[in-house]
Amino acid sequence: MIHVQGLHKRFGDTRVLEGVDHMQKAGEVAVLIGPSGCGKSTFLRCLNQLEQADAGTIEIDGLVVGPRADRKTRTELRRRTGMVFQQFHLFPHLTVLGNVIEAPVHVGGMSRADATALAMELLAKVGLGDRAGFHPAQLSGGQQQRVAIARALAMRPRVLLFDEPTSSLDPQLRGEVLTVLRDLAAEGRTMLLVTHEMGLARDIADQVLFFDAGKVAESGPPEQVFGDPLHPRTREFLRGTHS
Amino acid sequence: MTPSRFRALSAPVLVLVLFVLGLFPAPSSSARADSWEGLTNRGVVRWANDAEGGAPYIFHPADDASKLVGFEVEFAEALCSRLGLRSEFVQYNWANLIPGLRQGGNFDIVVAALERTPENLAQVGMSRPYFVFGQQLVARAADTGITSLDGLRGRTVGVLGATLSQRLATEAGAEVRVYDENVNYFRDLELGRIDAVLTDSPIAEVNLRDRPLLRRAGRPFAPGFYAVAVPAGDTRLLERIDGAILELYRDGTLERIYRKHGLWSSEQATIGTWTDSGEAANPVTRPAGGFARWNVYLPILLRAAVTTVWVTCASMALAVAWGLVLAVGRVYGPAPARWFSIAYVEVFRGTPLLLQLYFVYFGLAQQLGWKLSAGAAAVLTLGLNYAANEAENYRAGLQAVPRGQTEAALALGMTPWLTFRRILLPQALRISLPSVTNDFIALFKDSSIVSVIGLVELTKEFLIRALDAGDYLGLGVMTAAIYFAMGWAASAAARAIERRLHP
Ligand SMILES: Nc1ncnc2c1ncn2[C@@H]1O[C@H](COP(=O)(O)OP(=O)(O)O)[C@@H](O)[C@H]1O
Ligand SMILES: [Mg+2]
């Protein structure tokens, strides 16, 4: 379902991605790990077309986007992916409900009533059915991130991209977001997740990708990557995260 | 006569200053009613006029801008030397000459085409005439229909504020446009913005010389006298001055001076024959201060405030819309749009508003033939000027919206335009609202500058009426209160909007 081949991306002289390959079936969860600055966010941003790769192709459900893809194709790829950011990036001037229905109404052309019904369903799912009328500033970080997840789900993406969704949360607030992530994985959503939560990765990942120096240095099922890493860099990295 | 531009610029401030000064009474003028001895001890007479008065009264000749000439300059110097004293010119805002003389301290006498009217006699001592003038109606040469004041009902006539001309034009039923100096109404007449000018004959005399498009409409009428003003009750000084004027007339000095300026006429004989008919001894009783007659003045001021309100609101609407375009060009536009926006902001912020107003109102009309009405020119200038401020406010607002907002919106599939309209703009406006409110309130006050192109708004009306009523304090308080109320309403509205934006 997802097929990435030879993805390259550089910012000026900084080579960030140097030939990333990745395959993922529908309903699978892939967890991306690796040292800071190794290009994990850039990879997700390329999938979502917030960045444009310099070389390589991205295929999602038969839609192929290469470096010379036209705008329409890239927009379509973006429509197939939903992104959740480390810093939530909720729209502060809109209510929780307003955040969730914004894109369905203004991008998807859904009626307000339908969008509201959908949004309420999604908010209930992330446990915030009673916060629809609040503004983001009135919510805790964990609640905000759950709204951001509902907002991404509202566009019914085929693939969900999470970039360190719990990293900016206090440890006691992470649980509520992790629960939502587990639920989504259990529903069979196709997800790519950058995280430092190794417990979560172990539980929900179908495959773990270890990024190093702009490449996937090692990938495999969690038991293998965590239990018996092949690459010395992976070992080194995992030692660091456990201590 | 041109009161200084400074006044128009800072008039609302002036209102408050006058108010505060009013709380501290000036030293009573009777204490120094007899100034003759002091003058002879000092050996010098300080006479006041406004150098912006223009030809033929007092002006800087084209060939030597450092010199001050004019028939009043020469008369004042002749007068002082006849009194046996040196002459010293003091520059003073024309519209404030009488209050200034009453207050004392800055100058001793006024030689500035002050008319010997009951209104003036009620406030200061006035000499025998040193010049006899008439009211001259001026029209366009092509417009042969206008021959006298009677034919002007419903037509637009330019006059100097607080003068006999203003009163006569108003009484004749004309649509009166009030100016505060005596050159611009001739320009507006040439440009077809007004139908006629009613002014003192010497002003018409000089200004018609190089204006072939204009002509005298009828002969001068309603003779009036220019007289020297001295502090009220200073009879010894007044007698000396009267004597000196008579001598200057009899020995031909006045005729020589006036002929030199092309102003001599048979009417000037009155200077020699004039006798005091007793107006001075029996001055009109001034109505009690403006405050006591608030029921008369308040409605007048409120009507003028309507002009202030619409000029302010229309200008602000233009500034907000155009400022937004500039800000977007600056933040998101391609290089040329960015440069244009930067240059625009710097030029409009870096040059005086007054200059811009003259440029738009007269410059465009004279050079390009775009004859904007005073209202349109006022709104256009204030709007274009304030747009520079608003552009900076919005730019700050747009740049303060975190980058993540754009990314989140784009990631949801929103187009750049949708992202701007739905996500960035509302947040940017919310951030810039306090500065925009500030500007809106400042604009209420800055709008007083448009009085220089003949629009009678609140400050202008205040100045006209305060002069009439001789009460800067009472009317100043009323005017300040109206400005305060307008500014307060504007901030209340802004607070309401802010509450809606920050629920
Ligand atoms: N817009 C950008 N411009 C320049 N350099 C960037 C940009 N985005 C990321 N980088 C650089 O690319 C590298 C990878 O960044 P990132 O993908 O955020 O890493 P990670 O998410 O794995 O920590 C870093 O060195 C970062 O500084
Ligand atoms: Mg990252």
For chain B, how many structural domains are there in total? 3
Ranges A88-92, A99-103, B493-497: which has the least confidence: B493-497
pLDDT at B503 over 60: no
Residue B490 and residue B386 share a domain? yes
Has residue B9 been placed in a domain?
A: no
Has residue B170 been placed in a domain?
A: yes
Provide Rg for chain B, Cα atoms.
27
Note whether A89 contacts B418, CB cutoff 8 Å: no
Residue B321 and residue B461 share a domain? yes
Q: What phi, psi does B200 have (nearest 5°)?
A: -70, 145
Distance A39 CA to ligand 1 centre (A): 6
The model's confidence at residue B291, banded by pLDDT at 50, 70 and 90, is low
Q: What is the pLDDT of residue B16?
A: 53
Task: Give B367-375 contacts, CB < 8 A, sequence gap 24+.
Answer: B371/B191, B371/B192, B371/B193, B373/B193, B374/B177, B374/B193, B374/B450, B374/B453, B374/B454, B374/B455, B375/B311, B375/B455
Between CA B118 and CA B87 the distance in angstroms is: 28
Top-confidence residue, B91 or A193: A193
Q: What is the mean pLDDT of residues A136-141?
A: 95
Q: In one letter, which amino acid is A103?
A: A
Has residue B395 been placed in a domain?
A: yes
Q: What is the mean pLDDT of residues A116-126?
A: 96
pTM of the model: 0.71
Has residue B466 been placed in a domain?
A: yes
Distance A75 CA to ligand 2 centre (A): 23
CATH of the domain at B61: 3.40.190.10
Has residue B1 been placed in a domain?
A: no
> Distance, in angstroms, between A83 CA and closest chain B CA?
6
Q: What is the pLDDT of residue B284?
A: 46
Has residue B20 been placed in a domain?
A: no
A87 lines ligand 1 (CB under 6 A): no
* Best mutation target, A42, A88, A89, to test chain B (most B CBs within 10 A): A89
Between CA B369 and CA B378 the distance in angstroms is: 17
CATH of the domain at B433: 1.10.3720.10
Residue B118 and residue B157 share a domain? no
pLDDT at B93 over 90: no
Which residue from B373, B450, B310, B314 is spatially nearest to B156, judged by alpha carbons?
A: B373
How big is chain A, counted in residues? 243
For ligand 1, what atom is nearest to the CA of residue A211?
22
Residue B457 and residue B440 share a domain? yes
Has residue B286 been placed in a domain?
A: no
Which residue from A130, A129, A123, A132 is spatially nearest to A152, judged by alpha carbons?
A: A123
Report the residue among A7, A42, A47, A51 best suited for mutation to probe ligand 1: largest number of ligand atoms under 8 A from its CB.
A42
Ligand nearest A38 Cα, by number? 1
Q: What is the pLDDT of residue A243?
A: 41
Residue B236 and residue B217 share a domain? no
A40 lines ligand 1 (CB under 6 A): yes
Has residue B123 been placed in a domain?
A: yes
Q: Could you tell me the residue range of the domain that residue B189 belongs to?
A: 133-222
Residue A157, chain B, CB below 8 Å: the answer is: no
Between CA B389 and CA B345 the distance in angstroms is: 7
Between CA B304 and CA B461 the distance in angstroms is: 6
Residue B159 and residue B238 share a domain? no
Atom 12 (ligand 1) nearest CA: A16
Top-confidence residue, B102 or A39: A39
Residue B477 and residue B421 share a domain? yes
Q: What is the pLDDT of residue B294?
A: 78
Residue B299 and residue B373 share a domain? yes
The model's confidence at residue B94, banded by pLDDT at 50, 70 and 90, is confident
Q: What is the ipTM of this complex?
A: 0.94
Residue B195 and residue B63 share a domain? no
Q: What is the pLDDT of residue B25?
A: 42
Residue B447 and residue B402 share a domain? yes
Note whether B405 contacts A89, CB cutoff 8 Å: yes
Residue B255 and residue B209 share a domain? no
Residue B400 and residue B354 share a domain? yes
Task: Tell me the range of A171-180, B96-105, B278-287 where mean pLDDT is highest.
Answer: A171-180
